Amino acid sequence: MKKFVVIKEDLKHNIEAIKQYAKTRGKDDNGNELKIIAVVKMNGYGLGIVEYTNFLIDQGIDFFAVATIEEALQLRKAGIKEKILMLSSTAIKEEVEELIDNNIIITIGSKEAAETADEVAGEKGKFIKAHIKVDTGFGRYGFIYTKPEKIVQAIESLRNIEIEGIFTHFSLAFYEKSNYTQIQFDRFIKVIEVLKLNDINIEILHACNSSSFIRFPQMHLNAVRIGSAFTGRLSFKNNLGLKKIGTLESQVCEIKKVPKKFNIGYSNIYTTKRETEIAVIPCGYADGFNIKTGEDTFRGIDKLRRLVGVLKEFLKKEALYVKIEGKKCRVLGKVGTFHLTVDVTGKEIKVGDKVELSVSPKYVNTNIRREYK
């Protein structure tokens, strides 16, 4: 039986560390502390969207953000009544209707999205809340920063919507040597200045995700969106003392001895060098183990690093390991879809022993039970 285990004390530690770091900004002119918007997309970054959101609520978080309508509805159906922001802009009427019916704060990133939302809200006799999305150089949702007058026109045309927030999204905040985040931030501030010149003062301003929240405190404004930082799994070093959250647990399902020069796994890339005792573990890449993603998101230098990593793996200079009853055991051959084989020679391992696998929670199969303890 597989399960993904979340240690509550470790998660609580991360939440508190992030809260304390947020307090270093101090209070704004209105006496308000920095607002934390918890992003719970991708099944709560793999921690189980409902369980994770409820845990965050217990720790005092009261504002959440999702990436899809399905995620928003899942939270509402689970009885979660706190504020939920849909981060993606949409001009599809049926989607806007569903968001409004479930009291989800919508994002408006285009003239068409503004018109659709205003029309639907009017038809339903509701006055709803929304955030404006500004594209400062990500090339996805949002009004283009070079045409702030379009945002002014869209806002001024609204009759059934209160714009309570405005935000942008950084594309390189996790890179150490880049001034592009500062460029995006400056573009965003200029848009806000144009809005103020047109007597449009928006309450909630947010630009920082987890990476920029930690690396660029000068960009905090009055709200930040925190996702991966809560899980302690960031792509850069930090001084917050965050703990990596979550461990995939399974059990040894079979043990046997195989002779010298015996093939292990697909592609025949591994052959035993001696008689070897092996354990079969019912976990594989379909469960999130040894998943490699994002090659298409990196710059040339990052692709080169990835190529070096692949070469090292091919030359067997880097090996994968799991822990069985606390003992480090090497994975042999290629990781399969649902199984992997490990060397347990001389380790006194038996069928049923607990196996711990290090995985990124966001890649763990959603069918695997999440257990908080």
In sequence order, what E strands does 29-148 have?
35-39, 63-66, 83-89, 105-108, 128-135, 143-144
**Burial 81-98, CB ≥16 within 10 A → b, else e:** eeebbbbbbbbeeebbbb
**Burial 349-358, CB ≥16 within 10 A → b, else e:** beeebebebe
Q: Would you call 266 a catalytic residue per the annotation?
A: yes
The mean predicted confidence, pLDDT, of the chain is 92
**Residue 120 region, left (φ>0) first, then alpha (ψ -120 to 50), else beta?**
alpha
- The pLDDT score that the predictor gives to residue 301 is 47
Amino acid at 103: N
308 confidence band (pLDDT: 50, 70, 90) = low
- The pLDDT score that the predictor gives to residue 299 is 46
Question: Phi, psi at residue 221, to the nearest 5°?
Answer: 55, -130
Q: At a CB cut-off of 8 Å and minimum separation 6, what does 288 contact?
A: 46, 248, 359, 360, 361, 363, 364, 365
- The pLDDT score that the predictor gives to residue 298 is 47
Amino acid at 269: I
Q: Would you call 292 a catalytic residue per the annotation?
A: no
* Residue (of 233, 244, 247, 368) closest to 5 by Cα position: 247
Q: Average of pLDDT values for 313-335?
A: 85
- The pLDDT score that the predictor gives to residue 311 is 53
Q: Which of 5-19, 104-118, 234-248, 276-290 has the lowest mean pLDDT?
A: 234-248
- The pLDDT score that the predictor gives to residue 317 is 52
Q: Average of pLDDT values for 163-192?
A: 92
In the chain the domains, ranked by start, together with CATH numbers, are 7-231 (3.20.20.10), 247-372 (2.40.37.10)
Tell me whether strands 63-66 and 35-39 are parallel, antiparallel or unpaired. Answer: parallel
Q: Which of 117-126, 182-191, 286-295 has the lowest mean pLDDT?
A: 286-295
| Token pair in block for residue 172 | 């390189």
- The predicted model scores a pTM of 0.89
Q: Average of pLDDT values for 281-299?
A: 74
Q: Which H or E run includes 111?
A: helix 111-124
User: Residue 52 in 3-state DSSP?
Assistant: helix
Beta bridge partners of 77: none
Question: Phi, psi at residue 162, to the nearest 5°?
Answer: -100, 125
In sequence order, what E strands does 168-253 have?
204-206, 223-226, 247-251
CB distance 173 to 212 below 8 Å: yes
- The pLDDT score that the predictor gives to residue 293 is 54
- The pLDDT score that the predictor gives to residue 160 is 98
For 39-49, write each residue's pLDDT tens digit. Answer: 999 999 999 99
Find where tokens 């090339």 sit: 139
Tell me whether strands 327-332 and 321-324 are parallel, antiparallel or unpaired. Answer: antiparallel
In sequence order, what E strands does 136-222 have?
143-144, 161-167, 204-206
- The pLDDT score that the predictor gives to residue 291 is 83
Q: Average of pLDDT values for 320-344?
A: 96
- The pLDDT score that the predictor gives to residue 220 is 95
Find where tokens 């979660």 sit: 80
320 pLDDT higher than 90: yes
Q: Which of 3, 41, 83, 111 is catalytic?
A: 41
Query: How many CB atoms within 10 Å of residue 59?
Result: 16
* Residue (of 145, 157, 167) closest to 111 by Cα position: 157
For 188-215, write each residue's pLDDT tens digit. Answer: 999 999 999 999 999 999 999 999 999 9
Q: Which of 124, 260, 266, 354 is catalytic?
A: 266
1 confidence band (pLDDT: 50, 70, 90) = confident
For 90-100, write each residue's pLDDT tens digit. Answer: 999 999 999 99
CB distance 245 to 361 below 8 Å: yes
- H helices of 232-369, in order, are 300-314
Q: Average of pLDDT values for 316-343?
A: 91
